[in-house]
């Protein structure tokens, strides 16, 4: 896993002032940052910066100076107007600050967070962990000259007065997001189902979790035809990983789709952008990152994590359009499109998770392009029949800067997924494709009613042609950890 800088919350008096350090702060238009408690050299440097002609705190405005001989560099960034401002703009500031610190080869970065209500949200610590990883993360383990890349050694965060942030939560979220991104960015020639199960075993060993890994023979014995069908065309046999952690608190099941590479199978995808299909395992990576953070925080929850893993390839043994597959709960599915494979993996894993009677179940998957068409890469789709669960997840997402949008879960969606020669079909009409997929999945969670399906296809990764840095984002770890922290209370 990428080595993160050390992360700590600090008081203004603890800001480091060495020559290799840097101090970043930010202010809204017409405002000045607090200097209370800061070392004299830093406070005086900020006085000089805000006193310069032209300083107004406009968005994108940036002034810098040295804090005396042998002191740190001090920078102030403008954030623009405070009205309508949210954590996403603060994300941009943090990314710019860490990028500058890296270019200047700083050892320690001091971040003086601006005073804003978002910093007092219960999810602020989880947001901080996610945002810092977004800013500092670098996936370079395949680059031969990576030792030349400078890495910041330590980050000290000074929250505004009255903000109650938990450093342990921020660090654990950062660790979980980093694990998620590292796993998701690993290419399919390394990240096979077997490799992913081995990484899960390492996590289980480090965190004291119980682990069960089902191989193809065991999947067949259990009647898990969905996972077996998807993996049938690959030389890399499928797996189903189950992790268990905790002996007290609510029983929570997490299910994550893990297609280590998706060609579409016999219903093969177009060649354009197919390299990005290594990210079709992002749901699996998300739930493993969440599990790491939960164990790090020792949350009082009884967590079970289910990770179905397969590579969807064409081949002589691959499943075909027209096949009928029987899943773990006995329901049969008529295959109309082998590229609608994620729901086949999830059918078996969801049925097993529901059979073990959790209090709540969340499932994460890069499931449909239709969700991306609807929401772009700015949010994930949320489907749930439970209003309280949906509301709690939406609130957690809002506070951590990870957007969710609730979609309908109407009975018609299930009707559209009924098969001609089987109970269900795995592909519906062109219209409302994300809705139809959610209706299909709902047939594998009964009798559970407190469950949610999160289609993270748009938010889980950024393609190489996007404005943001390409690669996995670690989406879903922060808001879920924040939700679990409040659930555990």
89 belongs to the catalytic site: no
The DSSP H or E segment spanning 347 is helix 342-355
3-state helix/strand/coil string of 418-483: ECCCCCEECCCCCCCHHHHHHHHHHHHCCCCCCEEEEECCCCCEECCCCCCCCEECCCCHHHHHHH
Say how many residues make up the chain.
489
Number of continuous H segments (helices) and E segments (strands) in the chain: 14, 20
- Give the closest residue to 442 by CA, choosing from 407, 406, 417, 476: 417
Q: How many whole angstroms from its chain centre is CA 377?
A: 13
**Interacting residues of 43 by C-beta distance below 8 A, sequence separation 6+:** 35
- Of 89, 222, 269, 450, the active-site residue reads 269
- Residue written as token pair 């702060």: 25
Judge contact between 341 and 356, C-beta under 8 A: no
Angle between helices 282-297 and 193-207 (to 10 degrees): 10
- Of 35, 292, 304, 343, the active-site residue reads 343
418 belongs to the catalytic site: no
Positions of E strands within 68-184 = 73-78, 108-112, 154-158
Positions of E strands within 181-316 = 210-214, 239-245, 251-256, 258-262, 302-312
What is the rounded distance in angstroms from the CA atom of residue 357 to the CA atom of residue 187?
Answer: 35
Locate 167 and state its tokens: 């450093």
What is the rounded distance in angstroms from the CA atom of residue 121 to the CA atom of residue 98?
Answer: 23
The DSSP H or E segment spanning 382 is strand 380-383
- Give the closest residue to 383 by CA, choosing from 458, 303, 441, 457: 441
What is the rounded distance in angstroms from the CA atom of residue 137 to the CA atom of residue 259?
Answer: 24
- Give the closest residue to 489 by CA, choosing from 318, 319, 335, 300: 300
Other CB atoms closer than 10 Å to residue 302's CB: what's the count? 17
Q: Residues with catalytic annotation?
A: 269, 343
């Amino acid at each position: 896993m990428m080595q993160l800088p050390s992360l700590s919350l600090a008081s203004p008096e603890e800001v480091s002032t060495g020559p290799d350090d840097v101090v970043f702060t930010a202010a809204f238009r017409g405002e000045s940052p607090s200097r209370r408690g800061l070392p004299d050299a830093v406070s005086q440097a900020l006085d000089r910066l805000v006193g310069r002609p032209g300083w107004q705190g406009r968005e994108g405005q940036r002034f810098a100076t040295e804090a005396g001989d042998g002191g740190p560099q001090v920078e102030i960034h403008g954030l623009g107007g405070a009205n309508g401002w949210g954590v996403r703009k603060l994300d941009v500031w943090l990314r710019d600050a860490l990028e500058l610190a890296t270019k200047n080869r700083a050892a320690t970065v001091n971040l003086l967070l601006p005073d804003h209500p978002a910093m007092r949200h219960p999810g602020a610590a989880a947001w901080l962990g996610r945002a810092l990883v977004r800013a500092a993360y670098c996936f370079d383990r395949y680059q031969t000259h990576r030792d030349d890349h400078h890495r910041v050694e330590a980050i000290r965060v000074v929250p505004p007065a009255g903000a109650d942030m938990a450093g342990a939560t921020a660090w654990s979220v950062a660790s979980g997001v980093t694990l998620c991104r590292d796993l998701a960015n690993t290419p399919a020639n390394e990240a096979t189902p077997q490799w992913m199960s081995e990484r899960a075993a390492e996590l289980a060993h480090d965190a004291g979790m119980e682990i069960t890994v089902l191989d193809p023979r065991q999947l067949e014995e259990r009647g898990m035809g969905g996972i077996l069908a998807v993996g049938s065309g690959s030389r890399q046999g499928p797996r189903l990983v189950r992790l268990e952690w905790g002996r007290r608190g609510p029983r929570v099941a997490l299910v994550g789709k893990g297609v280590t590479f998706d060609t579409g199978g016999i219903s093969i995808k177009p060649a354009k952008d197919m390299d990005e299909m290594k990210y079709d395992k992002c749901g699996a990576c998300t739930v493993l990152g969440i599990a790491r953070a939960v164990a790090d925080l020792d949350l009082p929850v009884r967590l079970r994590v289910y990770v179905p893993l397969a590579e969807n390839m064409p081949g002589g043994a691959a499943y075909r359009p027209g096949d009928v597959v029987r899943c773990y709960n006995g329901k049969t599915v008529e295959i109309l499109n082998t590229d609608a494979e994620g729901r086949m993996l999830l059918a078996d894993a969801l049925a097993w998770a529901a059979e073990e009677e959790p209090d709540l179940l969340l499932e994460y998957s890069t499931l449909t392009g239709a969700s991306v068409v609807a929401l772009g890469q700015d949010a994930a789709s949320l489907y749930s029949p439970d209003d309280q669960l949906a509301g709690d997840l939406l609130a957690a997402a809002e506070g951590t800067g990870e957007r969710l949008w609730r979609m309908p879960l109407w009975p018609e969606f299930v009707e559209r997924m009924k098969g001609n020669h089987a109970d269900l079909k795995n592909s519906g009409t062109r219209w409302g494709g994300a809705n139809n997929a959610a209706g299909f999945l709902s047939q594998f969670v009964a009798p559970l009613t407190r469950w949610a399906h999160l289609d993270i296809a748009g938010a889980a990764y950024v393609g190489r042609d996007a404005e943001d840095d390409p690669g996995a984002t670690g989406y879903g770890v922060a808001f879920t950890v924040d939700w679990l922290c409040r659930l555990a209370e």
